[in-house]
Amino acid sequence: MSPTASARRRRIRLPRRVFSQVLLMQVAIAAGVAVLATGLFLAPLGDQLDDQAMRRALAIAQTTAQQPRLAADVRDTRPAPDGPVQRAAERVRRTTHAEYVVVMDRQGVRWSHTDPARIGAVVSTDPGRALAGREVMEIDEGTLGRSARGKVPLRDETGRIVGAVSVGIAYDSVRDRLVHAVPGLFAYAGGALAVGALAAWLISRRVQRQTRDLAFSDIAGLLAEREAMLHGIREGVVALDRAGRVRLLNDEAQRLLGVGGEAVGRSPDEALGAGRTADVLAGRVTGTDLLTVRGPRVLVANRMPTGDGGAVATLRDRTELEQLGRELDSTRGLIDALRAQDHEHANRMHTLLGLLELEMYDDAAEFVGDVVGDHRATSEQITERIHDPLVAALLVGKATVAAERGVALSVSDRTGLPGRLVDPGGLVTVVGNLVDNALDAAAGTRHARVEVELRAEGRTVTLRVRDTGPGIPPDRRELVFTEGWSTKEPPAHRQRGLGLSLVRRLAERQGGTVAVGAAGGSGAEFVVVLPEALAPPDAARGAVGVEEGVR
């Protein structure tokens, strides 16, 4: 390709910007519509003018044929340039401005014509239909050129046909009328085109603002990149329109929320059900890094409004981080317990050493027996009533921590838990969270005490945790289960307000319930009911038999 051709091709290339392309397309459409409308108007206009001309010619012919003497003159005289028929026809022609008025007899011989030399000659077109008694309208070619023609039979006083009258109107005059109508029509079409071009410009300007003056290819590329990015990132993205309906969910958001594509077009309450997660997505709860629990997952949500009245919410899975935080809390509690034991052990060893140095051997033996007996009594009290090793170990550790904090942790006499739990880890989480909250509430109070009761009835396990703390006002007893709500300062590594929410989630996942009330005095009592938390006795014995067989 030559440089000139390349330059020419570059010159005729369509513009890339959306504004220019939309404007060009809109103007082209407006021009096409204007041309089409003009053509559709002109096409029937020519037919209408032809019809009007033919009807006018027919009316002149009818009026001429109704003159009283015309039929008698055709019947009784001879055709002559100065005859009465010629004079009457010419008088009508001049009056009506017709192109010609031709009167003929039954043989088609002219008795009148604009050219007197043609009088007495046979007409050039077939007069058969008019002589047969029919009226004729047509556009035809005659000796005087193309014309709109009307023919009627000529009858005498008795009604007998003695000839015919043919009247023509010059077709050029019809065309002139059509041509005269075109400029006005084009003026209207031009005005419509101008209005269309102005509307196209306004629409293009609006499109330009909305598309940031990007090219269609750029918009398509951005859309493709957005789709790849949204479905490729490991962070949930939920977009909502101005009506609060979900309009986009990426793959990670569907996984974290446990919903599918059917959530698109629905409100968060309809798609997720009532709860904190729906409140956060809908904007009814404001803030940054909002914690919410969805099923077994702990999510961190942030919501940002968009310019069109909608919003985009991002979701991050914090379940593993939350678990690590809780393990850190447990480790920290264990370290505190060990430190307390170490401190207490040092004090006891010093006491024992003093007794031995004072040669108070009987008192030293009694002191050692009391220390070992207290710890053994607490451990035996727990293990005798609770046969699941995980739950028992948890309560033994919590008892040590409680003693260091000045709280007496005891197990109710009505406690009885067999070792065939379906989900020991879940129950450990429930018990641990409730005991931690109870220790926090009771610590520092007079006669601080926490009592734990675990009772099994059939396959149902009922957990009660009572404390001697300040209690929970009735108007806040439902609020304490809300994610993120807490009366305590959060630690550095994580946020508070999830423990009781997780307890409720774990209980509801097993079909159970959680309730809070008053514990006799001023304390609080949490009651968790877990139906079918225990495996059937037969299944438990079968599992034990298999283990013994393996051994």
The mean pLDDT of 450-462, rounded to a whole number, is 90
The dihedrals phi and psi of 275, each to the nearest 5 degrees, come to: 160, 180
Long-range contacts (CB closer than 8 Å, 24 or more residues apart) made by 195-199: 196/26, 196/27, 196/29, 196/30, 196/31, 196/33, 196/34, 197/26, 197/27, 197/30, 199/26, 199/30
> pLDDT for 328-367, tens place per residue?
655 665 566 566 666 666 776 777 777 777 778 777 777 6
The mean pLDDT of 429-436, rounded to a whole number, is 87
Asked if the model's pLDDT at residue 513 lies above 50, the reply is yes
> pLDDT for 47-85, tens place per residue?
777 788 888 899 999 999 988 888 888 888 888 888 899
Asked if the model's pLDDT at residue 434 lies above 70, the reply is yes
Lowest mean pLDDT among 128-137, 243-252, 487-496, 541-550: 541-550
Q: Would you kindly state where each structural domain of the chain is located, as residue ranges?
A: 15-214, 233-317, 385-545
- Segments of 109-251 assigned E as strands: 136-142, 145-155, 161-170, 236-240, 246-249
Q: Closest Cα to residue 449, out of 460, 459, 458, 441?
A: 441
pLDDT of residue 549: 38
| Shared fold status for 15-214 and 233-317 | yes
Sorting pLDDT into bands at 50, 70 and 90, what band is 494?
very low
Asked if 140 contacts 146 with a C-beta cutoff of 8 angstroms, the reply is yes
- To the question of domain 15-214 being in CATH 3.30.450.20, the answer is yes
The pTM (predicted TM-score) of the whole model is 0.41
> pLDDT for 193-247, tens place per residue?
777 777 777 776 776 666 666 655 666 666 666 666 666 677 888 889 988 898 8
pLDDT of residue 479: 76
Burial classification of residue 274, based on how many CB atoms lie within 10 Å of its CB (0-12 exposed, 13-18 middle, 19 or more buried):
exposed
Backbone torsion region of residue 134, taken as left when φ is above 0, otherwise alpha when ψ lies between -120 and 50, otherwise beta: beta
Q: Closest Cα to residue 408, out of 468, 462, 464, 454?
A: 468
> pLDDT for 153-198, tens place per residue?
999 888 889 999 999 887 655 555 556 666 766 676 677 777 777 7
Asked if the model's pLDDT at residue 12 lies above 60, the reply is no
Distance CA 421, CA 112 (A): 126
Tokens encoding 230: 């949204």
pLDDT of residue 371: 61
Order across the sheet with 246-249: list the strands. Answer: 246-249, 236-240, 311-317, 297-305, 290-294
The mean pLDDT of 266-293, rounded to a whole number, is 82
- Segments of 79-185 assigned E as strands: 100-105, 136-142, 145-155, 161-170
Distance CA 382, CA 399 (A): 10
* Alpha-carbon distances of 95 from 63, 64, 67, 275, rounded to whole Å: 12, 11, 15, 95
Asked if 215 contacts 18 with a C-beta cutoff of 8 angstroms, the reply is yes
Q: Which fold has domain 233-317?
A: Beta-Lactamase (3.30.450)
Distance CA 446, CA 407 (A): 9
pLDDT of residue 453: 92
Distance CA 263, CA 265 (A): 6
Tell me the CATH class for 385-545.
alpha beta
CB atoms within 10 A of CB 293: 22
Q: Are strands 100-105 and 161-170 parallel, antiparallel or unpaired?
A: antiparallel
* Alpha-carbon distances of 515 from 165, 442, 525, rounded to whole Å: 112, 19, 8
Asked if the model's pLDDT at residue 443 lies above 80, the reply is yes
Asked if the model's pLDDT at residue 528 lies above 80, the reply is yes
Name the residue with higher pLDDT: 521 or 402: 402
Sorting pLDDT into bands at 50, 70 and 90, what band is 490?
very low
Sorting pLDDT into bands at 50, 70 and 90, what band is 269?
confident
Asked if the model's pLDDT at residue 492 lies above 60, the reply is no
Place of tokens 């309009």: 247
pLDDT of residue 550: 33
**What is the percentage of the chain residues whose pLDDT exceeds 90?**
7
pLDDT of residue 543: 44
pLDDT of residue 45: 65
